[in-house]
């Protein structure tokens, strides 16, 4: 049998062979290669529908891979410098949850920054692990949370030597990176695993002069959103494991929540994207950085905006910076980031990744074109001219340190009552409140509701942030814990 190399894409090759064999389908899906749903076929294309198939022996099975999916995952592990890799079709949310649940059981402690994605706290609700939050530093000028300070990590380890793992965001949504190598060293000295949420860091593995990746830093697990900066289809992700992890146990944990009907469109996109990044990643991400650096320089010439970058590095809370991120501070022109986000989309036909209270983020990739970068820069210039105003009265921070009273699981499953938001001061929150994107909770189950937090939520609503997480779809009421034993 011929040895596979990074030039191969085993799932893609098997699927193409299956398509050319013209197999008669008497299995699911019921659209039967698109013939049973003409409108969908017209929209997505016949070729796409013909390879939207179910698991079968020639195509392997995602839950128990023994052939082509196994081969593709092994190539991915090699490409990323991992001991093993798992294809995830439930998004990086599922990969983050698998990391937490592979290392922690009910009652176990896990150290993590409080500005984690909701998927990490969701995992705590499901498995019953107890969070030990490290409150991130805050850049007061920009109002954004930063990385994990080494001193804070040391203190958390000292106070909680029985913790099983440390979870690190690397990079954050804004491009901030922590001292990952030092965190790994500290954790391993104290028999703790390191889990890295690399949702926005696929390029760290393939670009040149990038911040260090989770696997290169010696982390035990890393969740990588291939679809975000790698180029695969939305919802496709890869979970990477180091040598210390029992990959067979990790697979069992993944199968607790991942679908048994893995989409071959998503799997193939992961397979082809891994091949493309391995062969062409240096050039892809060189071009990405060039676009981002050019845009950053031009936007900073406009005045009023601040497109920040590696000048923030302090070798502590900002240990490194991801230069592919085009994060732009907007408050000095008197507009919240979400207001700039809305104007760009509604008035200029430009869709950026997100806007929050004081910043916007534009995702840059090699798939962009120079004239589109110029259009973004020109639009920001016009927005400043047409819409800028006095910034007095604007919120100046994006993150409020929470007071944790109960574990997320206990609070979420407790008896609850619904109160008007303004009547909930000093109560214990029983659900999530967050702006999406990015999906970092303003409030998580088990946290004390304060007047500052309520004012922040109301301000975010007034500015047009898309708030999610509450049972009340209008986010006028909030569920609180009835009583604490």
Half-sphere exposure of 398 (CA within 13 A, CB side): 32
- Are residues 288 and 383 located together in one domain of the fold? yes
| pLDDT value at residue 435 | 84
How does strand 416-420 pair with strand 441-443?
unpaired
CATH of residue 412: 3.90.105.10
CA gap 307, 360 in Å, rounded? 9
pLDDT in tens, 133-142: 998 888 888 9
| pLDDT value at residue 327 | 96
Number of domains observed in the structure of the chain: 2
Tokens of 122: 């969701």
CA gap 461, 472 in Å, rounded? 14
| pLDDT value at residue 459 | 86
Closest C-alpha among 209, 344, 216, 350 to residue 286: 209
SS3 category, 430: coil
| pLDDT value at residue 409 | 95
Whether residue 477 is contained in a domain is answered as yes
8 A C-beta contact, residue 292 and residue 309: no
pLDDT in tens, 128-175: 999 999 988 888 889 888 999 999 999 999 999 999 999 999 999 999
8 A C-beta contact, residue 218 and residue 242: yes
- Are residues 362 and 436 located together in one domain of the fold? no
CATH of residue 288: 3.90.1150.10
Closest C-alpha among 219, 215, 175, 229 to residue 193: 219
Among 357, 387, 417, the domain-final residue is 387
How does strand 84-88 pair with strand 109-113?
unpaired
- Are residues 288 and 372 located together in one domain of the fold? yes
Tokens of 110: 């896990």
Tokens of 187: 């954790």
Low-confidence ranges of the chain (pLDDT < 70): 1, 396-399, 484-485
Structural domain range at position 415: 408-481
Whether residue 323 is contained in a domain is answered as yes
- Are residues 375 and 468 located together in one domain of the fold? no
Indicate yes or no: pTM above 0.85: yes
CA gap 4, 349 in Å, rounded? 44
Closest C-alpha among 485, 298, 337, 339 to residue 410: 485
| pLDDT value at residue 399 | 67
CA gap 132, 99 in Å, rounded? 16
8 A C-beta contact, residue 120 and residue 221: no
Angle between helices 91-103 and 247-257 (to 10 degrees): 130
Tokens of 285: 């991400």
Whether residue 214 is contained in a domain is answered as no
- Are residues 379 and 327 located together in one domain of the fold? yes
Which residues are CB-contacts of 17 (< 8 A; sequence separation ≥ 6)? 58
Tokens of 157: 């380890």
- Are residues 475 and 422 located together in one domain of the fold? yes
Among 387, 422, 456, the domain-final residue is 387
Task: Tell me which DSSP letter residue 57 carries.
Answer: G
Tokens of 398: 């994006």
Whether residue 211 is contained in a domain is answered as no
| pLDDT value at residue 398 | 61
Tokens of 448: 């004390």
- Are residues 286 and 325 located together in one domain of the fold? yes
Whether residue 178 is contained in a domain is answered as no
- Are residues 297 and 382 located together in one domain of the fold? yes
8 A C-beta contact, residue 359 and residue 337: yes
CA gap 478, 431 in Å, rounded? 8
| pLDDT value at residue 485 | 57
Whether residue 343 is contained in a domain is answered as yes
| pLDDT value at residue 420 | 96
Tokens of 155: 């203190």
């Amino acid at each position: 049998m011929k040895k596979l190399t990074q030039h191969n894409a085993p799932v893609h090759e098997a699927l193409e062979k299956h398509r050319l064999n013209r197999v008669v389908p008497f299995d699911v899906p019921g659209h039967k290669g698109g013939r049973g749903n003409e409108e969908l076929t017209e929209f997505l294309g016949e070729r796409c529908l013909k390879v939207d198939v179910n698991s079968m022996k020639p195509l392997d099975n995602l839950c128990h891979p023994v052939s082509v999916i196994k081969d593709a995952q092994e190539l991915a592990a090699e490409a990323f410098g991992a001991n093993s890799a798992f294809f995830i079709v439930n998004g990086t949310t599922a990969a983050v949850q698998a990391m937490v649940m592979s290392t922690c059981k009910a009652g176990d402690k896990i150290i993590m920054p409080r500005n984690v994605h909701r998927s990490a706290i969701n995992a705590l609700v499901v498995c019953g692990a107890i969070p030990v939050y490290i409150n991130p530093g805050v850049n007061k000028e920009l109002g954004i949370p930063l990385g994990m300070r080494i001193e804070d990590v040391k203190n958390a380890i000292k106070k909680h030597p029985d913790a099983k793992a440390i979870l690190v965001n690397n990079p954050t949504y804004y491009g901030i990176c922590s001292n990952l190598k030092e965190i790994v060293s500290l954790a391993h000295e104290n028999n703790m695993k390191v889990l890295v949420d690399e949702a926005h860091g696929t390029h760290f593995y393939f670009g040149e002069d990038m911040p260090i990746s989770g696997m290169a830093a010696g982390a035990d697990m890393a969740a990588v959103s291939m679809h975000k900066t790698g180029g695969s289809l939305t919802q496709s992700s890869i979970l990477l494991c180091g040598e210390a992890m029992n990959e067979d146990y990790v697979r069992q944990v993944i199968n607790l929540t991942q679908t048994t009907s893995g989409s071959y469109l998503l799997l193939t996109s992961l397979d082809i994207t891994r091949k493309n990044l391995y062969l062409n990643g240096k050039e892809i991400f060189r071009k990405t950085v060039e676009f981002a650096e050019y845009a950053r320089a031009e936007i900073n010439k406009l005045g009023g905006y601040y497109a920040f970058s590696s000048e923030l590095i302090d070798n502590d809370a900002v240990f490194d910076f991801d230069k592919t991120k085009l994060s732009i501070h907007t408050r000095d022109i008197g507009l919240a980031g979400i207001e700039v986000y809305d104007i760009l989309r509604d008035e200029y036909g430009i869709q950026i990744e997100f806007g929050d209270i004081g910043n916007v983020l534009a995702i840059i990739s090699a798939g962009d074109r120079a004239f589109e970068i110029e259009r973004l820069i020109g639009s920001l210039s016009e927005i400043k001219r047409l819409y800028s105003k006095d910034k007095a009265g604007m919120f100046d921070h994006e993150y409020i340190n929470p007071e944790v009273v109960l574990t997320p699981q206990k609070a979420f499953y407790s008896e609850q009552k619904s109160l008007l938001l303004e009547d909930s001061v000093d109560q214990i929150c029983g659900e999530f409140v967050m702006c999406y994107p990015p999906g970092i909770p303003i409030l998580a189950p088990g946290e004390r509701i304060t007047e500052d937090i309520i004012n922040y939520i109301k301000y975010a609503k007034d500015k047009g942030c898309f708030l999610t997480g509450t049972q009340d779809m209008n986010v006028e009421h909030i569920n609180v814990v009835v009583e604490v034993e």
